[in-house]
Chain A
Amino acid sequence: MHKKDRLESPRIVKIQKVISENKDVKTLIFEDGLESLPGQFVMIWLPGVDEIPMSISYLGRKKGITVKKVGEATKILCGLKPNDNIGIRGPYGTFFNSKGKKLLVVAGGIGIAPLAPLIEMANDDGKVVTLAFGAKTKDELLFLKRLKSSCKQMQISTDDGSKGYHGFVSDLTLEILKKEAFDEIFTCGPELMIKKIVDISSRKNIPVQASLERFMKCGVGICDSCAINGFLVCKDGPVFTGEVLEKINDLGKTRRDACGRKVKI
């Protein structure tokens, strides 16, 4: 009768370790047996507060989510300590699927979270990864030490010039593409950045996959909260290929609020 071999109901796990990544970002490590792939997400239940989608930033039995304080739930998540309980269901959604040998990964800020396990996995598989990583300022960067050994080259950009290339990561990406060719591009970050990277990829004819974010409720494809042009971010995404992204006219333009109203991005 069941669609899958598991019930989509939260499992309670204990936080084992909390890593402070920067002043607004924490990684929570917990043990969970279910296998997941880079780019997939879980629904994290904070009893009495909310249940929110989070990208998986560490794969394997010891899983991790990397949380930036942006609202009430993420603020409380960032304040959790080892031995605190959270509920988790999933993993859900599509994943980054690399077929090429030479990868360009473009991350904006906390958008590095779903990309980090992809970079590590690609490196383990003998692929060559270049990371272009942008943030507003150097204090918002994270995972630099973690990813150093997995990237052939890592180029940083900051909007304020406090580290690396002074400017947007999309402009840095153009610079990189002038000098080097890549088999595929993977990206996640603020949606306007994603839109630019998708446009660049399409102009340069490089296959692209991007992870999108939308307001989400059920996480399993029935409530329509995360709908974007007939695609559901929870089920058809969060990772979309360039071919699908071309059909998503609202990309970088509008999103739906909790009531389902269209609002400008």
Chain B
Amino acid sequence: MHITFFDRMVDISTTISGIKLKNPTMLAAGILGETGDSLLKIAEGGAGALVTKSIGIEPREGYPNPTFLETEHGILNAMGLPNPGIENYQEEVKKALKSNIPVIGSIFGKNTQEFELLAKKMEQYHVHALELNLSCPHAKGYGAEIGHDINKVQEITRAVKGSVKIPVFVKLSPNVGNIAEIASAVQKSEGDAIVAINTIRAMAINAELARPNLANKIGGYSGPAIKPIGLRCVYEIKAATELPIIGVGGILSGMDAVEYIMAGASAVQIGSGIYYKDEKIFANISKEIREFMDSHGYKTLREMVGVAQKR
């Protein structure tokens, strides 16, 4: 009865460019999400939406191991965009869609043509929106290497927008001088939402062996350590653009999510949080957001979005 009472009093649903989410927690790209069955498990864990692994044109093995390790305050990975390729990925999307929650297709390409082709394919597979990976920090010729270049960001966003009808989200890298400037470029190119942030370019050294831990040497840092960086980026983007923002980076609890929402996010994504907790993190965070809103007099999530901007 208590839960029903909360449900009536507090509305944690959110809408991102027309896509309605029952709660603001989404799976972040790259965590699980290579297989449709795993995506369904995340949906069972209470996620409001699913983002697929980043998918490219051809099957790709990614980097050799080690591709993962944990450090004191976060985790470091250099997977290297492994994925089965867009053709093979259709059956995984088909399965994920059985979850009956929005499925967002994450794609990466090395140029505009590849992005357009991937976008069209994902739309044919009936995903609800696209997320352009312009931010993977460690894949040569992909991700952030494109996302650092404001002209390329504009060109790719505009081209993808011109080739599909579904909303286009753009995931940005924090490894830039001025993230708000890049977000503004996305807005100018008619992108529908910003996802921020991807991982931070980082490294671990094994002192015993006097060498970098990761096979690729450089990887992306995620987890609790990057939350303040993500919050700052979301705050700056909110101040500079009108676009809805999906906040990502070190979200492990409902309070972390609330902070992102107050900075300006309309939804949040969770990746490393699954490592620190488990797949029930989505339901748990939703519950904690609801409790916070109830005890602080917020009736809708929208009321909370960006409130920290006004102080």
Contacts and interface: CB of A to CB of B under 8 A. Distances in A.
Interface residues of A, dominant DSSP: loop
Interface in A215-243: 217-225, 227, 229-230, 232
Nearest to A230: B37
Interface residues of B, number: 46
A227 B35 contact: yes
Given A258-B82, A259-B60, A259-B85, A221 B275 contact: yes
A224 B59 contact: no
B77 A218 contact: yes
A10 B205 CA distance: 11
Contacts of A259: 59-62, 82-85, 88
B83 to A, nearest CB: 6
Contacts of A257: 59, 61
A223 B67 contact: yes
Contacts of A232: 38
A260 B84 contact: yes
A87 B212 CA distance: 13
A7 interface: yes
A45 interface: yes
A217 B65 contact: yes
B251 to A, nearest CB: 13
Contacts of B33: 224
Interface stretch (B68-76, B115-123, B137-145): B68-76
Contact of A229 (B37, B77, B88): B37
B203 interface: no
A143 B37 CA distance: 38
Given A221-B275, A227-B38, A230-B37, A261 B224 contact: no
Interface stretch (A46-54, A115-123, A125-133): A46-54
B3 interface: no
A256 B35 contact: yes
A52 B209 contact: no
Interface in A181-225: 217-225
B208 A218 contact: no
20 contacts: A9-B71, A10-B69, A49-B64, A50-B64, A51-B67, A217-B65, A218-B68, A221-B275, A222-B31, A222-B274, A223-B77, A230-B38, A230-B41, A256-B35, A258-B62, A258-B82, A259-B82, A260-B59, A260-B82, A260-B84
Given A230-B35, A257-B61, 17 more contacts: A1-B73, A8-B75, A9-B69, A9-B204, A85-B209, A220-B70, A221-B275, A222-B272, A222-B274, A224-B33, A258-B62, A258-B82, A259-B60, A260-B35, A260-B59, A261-B84, A262-B88
Interface of A: 1-3, 7-10, 12, 45, 47-52, 85, 87, 89, 217-225, 227, 229-230, 232, 256-262
